[in-house]
Chains A and B, each alone.
Chain A
Amino acid sequence: MNTEILSPVLIIVVTFIIAVPLGKYIAKVFKGEKTFLDFFAPLENFIFRIAGTDPQKEMDWKENIKALLTINFLWFLWAIVILAFQNLLFMNPDNIIAMEPTQAFNTAVSFMTNTNLQHYSGETGASYLIQLIVFCFLQFVSAGTGIAAAALVFKALSNRSGSNLGNFYNLMLKSCTRILLPLAVIVALILIFNGTPVTFQGAEQVITLQGDTVSVARGPVAPMVAIKQLGTNGGGFFGPNSAHPFENPNYITNFTELASILIIPVAMIFALGYYLNRRKFSVMILSVMLLGFICLAASSIYFEMNGNPEIEKLGISQPLGNMEGKEVRFGPSLSALWGIATTSTSNGSVNSMHDSSTPISNLMQMLGMQLNAFFGGVGVGFINMFVFIILAVFISGLMVGRTPELFGKKIEAKEIKIAIIVALIHPLIILSGTALASHIWAASADPAVSLKWLNNPSFHGFSEMLYEFTSSGANNGSGMEGLSDNTPFWNIAAGIVMLVGRFIPIIGPVAIAGFISAKKFTPESAGSLKPDSVIFGVVLFSVILILGALLFFPGLALGPVSEYFSIMK
């Protein structure tokens, strides 16, 4: 029997089992109830006292968004300045040079927006100091920002009336100290125990058994890998990310890191159920997410394990499956599952090279990012889903001829308009970016020599560009890395797409939540829509699929779908 399929199943089961108590715990943190980690309280209070913040002071949605944008802007400034001058600073044993300005812009935006698109390569582009005080730091607080934004929406949905949604500063810091930090410490220790290094010594010269001289890059890897997995960040210490044997040495670390990608996004939905005391509602959302996730993952696993038809034509065997760009210790099934987990959650770490995945896997990876709602990023995953829920409520309302309402609050024109704008901006930035890049490529004379962007010809080359903008728009950060993306055009274009793709989908839904919160509550009656019913789940799933398919299918048909038919057996 082929046992390779057991591991993916086991990972998903284990993740869900851990996510239930974690969700309950997260709900308590948001509500400010007692937890076993209250020993952090003096530290948090100390920080708030110095900053002059009153964590108990509740703010409406506008004040919260203002706080969120202000602090994010400061993080951006911090990152870009340090990146541009890393050569002048200390803790740089391998003498890494400063980042070129557009690359520094792209990287600063990328880490601030929780994207972690990397147009540099870790071991040659960033000093140890940068990896810690810029990347590791932003991987915490950008994830904390997403979780806090979700907490604001939670509060709005639970409010009977009033416009107070909680305090962003308080929620952001506690998301970091109470949720991310303890998990990161556990994961980092598991990694070190299994061989992930944590050292401040520079690269070591070694003469190999065969007599070659090689230099082996190392560094404080373990702490960064832990948080990049948990915070759906994805920015690796080394270029190949978790395909690198130091970032991900064996089966156990792969299991841990894969589960870490999914754990908080899943737990957030359980947290919603506990927070609102509507557990059936969270089960409904999770069923929709899980169904979508399994469709994507199953297709990708199937095609990776079947191998590359073009390699089969060469007359050799593919006992494992498609192995180009993959590591023997993971094999195709776990690489495929990772590819889907990382794209549907906006994580963006990889344990195999997506550029060398089979075309159908590329299709599923891109769909994962384009729909961006099957679990989604920490916090923002739920927020994306919230937009789809508003749209589904609206459509259901139209179908039965009643004013759409959610939890006893009317959903009116203003909310629907915002939801539609948010839902349409995502495809707009992705598709117009890809169109612009394709146009530049097509309009230049001999682009393979003058632009040198693409590593692969034909349909696959188009996929590389579509993937890059999809990944930026979804704040994912993975890439089909054959694309030579460290050029001013890609640095700036992807940077802008990341900014729009991060903040519009946070501001819009939080605003909707703010409006809903302030509305008059009417008790649910027999005629009200039941958002926790199976039928609503079906409507929700259909809305996601139809919206996604209609908007993205033409683009996908030009890339991975065409490539698939061109190499079919």
Chain B
Amino acid sequence: MRMKGLSLETIPSIHVPFRFFNTAPWMGVLAALVLLLEADSVFSSSWNPGLLAMTHLLTLGFISMVMLGAMFQIVPVLSGEMIPGGVLVATSVHILLCAGILSLVVGFYWQAYWLFSWAIPLLLSAFVVFLLPLASLLRRRIGGGDSIYSIRFAVLALLISIGLGLVRAANYAGLLQWAGLPNTISLHLGWGLGGWVLLLVMGVSYQVIPMFHVTPNYSTHMAKVLPTAVFSSMLLLTFVANPVIKGVAVLVLCLAATTYGIISIRLLRRRKRKVPDITARFWHMGLLSLIVAASLVMIIYFSDHLFPSIRWREKFYIGTGIILIFGFAVSVIMGMLQKIVPFLSYLHLQRSCMNNFDLLKTLPHMGEFVPPGFPRWQFRLHLAALLLLLVATVTGQLVELCGLLLIVDFSWLGLTLARASRLYLSTAKRVALHNQS
């Protein structure tokens, strides 16, 4: 059933998503600092401690931080139901997640794996506190249509990815000696990026692309087939040993990601409003990266033996990871943040003017929260950072410059969001004073 519309009566307090959104860019800055400090060796191997620290700062610190904040916002809005626990749950998740990520990353960076015995309970608590109330909502029959359908799969994928990640962390810390599933690392990566990130981006895009970019809706049929194909492929890759079936699963997974990318780009091309919108370019960059990454994953899986040396194979793996994490997920999230933060700010301020309509006219326009120049520069910086990251991976040169560019890229986003949040707070204060008088 296609949802009837967004239910905005159940929106949580703006502080809930904003604390996650305002933290994430600075985790990205930390990732860039690691790149800068470890410039000599970071791209030497996919097992390099600096690279592992940087990857987790991006995947947990930036991507998951924003996605968790967005889930607190989008699930109630789509389903019309509040996530139990509200602000208390969000605050606990935010604190536990920040502490858990920092212990994990410091543990990786200084190879102080004993720190994982702190990181494991902290991250486990963060995700349990997040997932339990959410699961109590998602297992019920709620509204939200195609988006919630994909988000349910995304949450399951997150659960599996976290479980596998914690097993690996416990291994590092010497807390667990469990052979368990072979390829734990590949599955952890697959469920995290192919499952959690891709499925959640799919679910969210079914709403935000048609709404913010005024495009036709995704077809309901495809909106269900694609996440089902992604999730089923990941299940086959996890539990089936037959190499032919595994090969088919990789093919289906990559084709589903590519199809999603092509459909979304075609929808964006059919935008009904032809006014320039730089945030649509972030979607283009992200979706093109997804299509490229899906092709590279197929090359890795089916033609792994063709690489001339282990060194080149490592470069190829790292390059694919960069395109998927930085090119796809980070780009899409950067674009969405610059749309969602002004929208939420304006929406919350509107509602505070309910008793005094004259105040509505005094509110800053949505475009004032993030003026067009900010996303324009963000796009240039981000595109340059992506290209330079790829050059640095292949050549091993310009890594320091790349680190500096990444610092500017994430700091620019952090300052843009902080500026928007400040404008929201000062306006909310002014409106509250008017309402009191």
**A and B together in one complex:** no
